[in-house]
Amino acid sequence: MYFPQPLLLICILLILTERVHSQSAKGPGISSCTFADFREHDCKWPPLNVSEIPPECTSLNYLVAIIDENYCIGPAESGADYVYWSIFVVFLDALENCWKHLTLDLYNTPRIFNFPSAVLNRSIISITILDVLLKSGKDVYLYYGWSDALDWCKMLKNASTNSLIEMKSIKGFFKDHQGITGLILTGLSYDDPDPECPKFTENFKIYLDVMKKTFPNLAIGLDLFGFYLIDQFNDPKRAWLDFKVLDVSIDFYAVTMESFSPCNADFKTGTTIICGNTTNHTLDILADVLQKTCIPKAKTYFKFKTHPEAPDDVHTFCDMTNEKLCELPSNATSDWCSDTIAT
């Protein structure tokens, strides 16, 4: 798929199987588009408008909301960012009620009231993008979770109690951002140095069931990585999640194909390869692993990036386009093109 301009959407979730889903099945649809907060904060692009959202998007995803140890949910690495913004909004509302003619500069106010300006600015941008998506009339899914498997494990040590506490925070977030269709739970994969999480499957099942009971109409998906599924199945260093046990509480699986294969000259004909003996990460191997781990085909979606990436720092992430990567007569980029406009 070719896009001539810097992309508004980051990736598309593509359905893995034929459209065998029933009309009542919960899931993002055949081409779900994902947006993230780097667009304005890091790239300095203009604010997102609903009119810019491609009509082909069957649903929209926001990446990402993180919950922290204080059960604060926010758009950055720590949910505390959202708390700063929430407190500030409450404070502004109080001021508005008391002094109707008071004018505040949002970029100077953090210094006056000791709010970190970077935190405030990023929170404003992130919340704005999510709320724009919620005005689109399309289903909106929120990538959500703890920052990593270690934090998940800490929370799940007392899954029954902590899950109820977390649901209260989610209720508050849903009240502030009404219309969220579902959550795609993220951060569940181990990093290399992580210890094994005791009773990960059993405790995560408790968490999922509490969420289902609290939000019976909420769609629940899992954010999984294709390369990680292969590595975990073929060379398991720690017990992880048993999908045979969990599947009854999960509506769909979003299998990320980003970073599936390394970005180097060996893969210049395509970074997601079907088969071969040069790597353990091929689509044939992944399909076999998905079947053996009992992840249902009819509930599985693939996530691919729709924008190119350079193998070096010649081009920045924000202004990367297919023209820059593939069409410029440059030795630095020509080896990295798997497709061109003509093909």
Assign 3-class secondary structure to 71-84. CCEECCCCCHHHHH
User: 334 forms bridges with which residues in the sheet?
Assistant: none
Helix (H, G, I), strand (E, B) or coil at 26: coil
Highest mean pLDDT among 99-103, 285-289, 295-299: 295-299
Residues 219, 212 contacting (CB under 8 angstroms):
no
Highest mean pLDDT among 4-8, 22-26, 219-223, 231-235: 219-223
Residues 136, 50 contacting (CB under 8 angstroms):
yes
Q: What angle do CA 30, 230, 294 make, to 5 degrees?
A: 65
Which of 52-56, 141-145, 228-232 is predicted least confidently?
228-232
CATH class belonging to 11-79+119-307: alpha beta
Nearest to 184 by CA among 124, 227, 143: 143
- Predicted TM-score (pTM) above 0.85: no
pLDDT score recorded for residue 115: 36
pLDDT score recorded for residue 87: 36
How far, in Å, are 161, 163, 258, 295 from residue 207 at the CA level? 9, 6, 27, 19
Contacts of 219 by beta carbon, 8 Å cutoff, 6+ apart: 26, 27, 141, 181, 182, 183, 251, 252
Residues 302, 14 contacting (CB under 8 angstroms):
yes
Residues 184, 225 contacting (CB under 8 angstroms):
no
* Nearest-angstrom CA–CA distance, 223 and 161: 24
pLDDT score recorded for residue 267: 52
For 277, phi and psi rounded to 5 degrees?
A: -115, 15
Q: What angle do CA 159, 162, 167 make, to 5 degrees?
A: 110
Say which residue, 220 or 38, is predicted with more confidence.
Answer: 220
How far, in Å, are 40, 74, 187, 189, 330 from residue 66 at the CA level? 19, 5, 9, 15, 40
Q: Provide the residue ranges of all domains of the chain, joining segments of one domain with +.
A: 11-79+119-307
236 confidence band (pLDDT: 50, 70, 90): confident
Which of 32-41, 72-81, 164-173, 265-274 is predicted least confidently?
265-274
DSSP 201-231: HHHHHHHHHHHHHH-TT-EEEEEEEHHHHHH
Residue type, 216: P
As given in the structure block, the two tokens for residue 59 are 């649903």
Task: List, in sequence order, every beta strand (DSSP E) within the chain.
Answer: 11-15, 31-36, 59-67, 73-74, 140-145, 180-185, 219-225, 252-256, 300-305
pLDDT exceeds 50 at position 275: yes
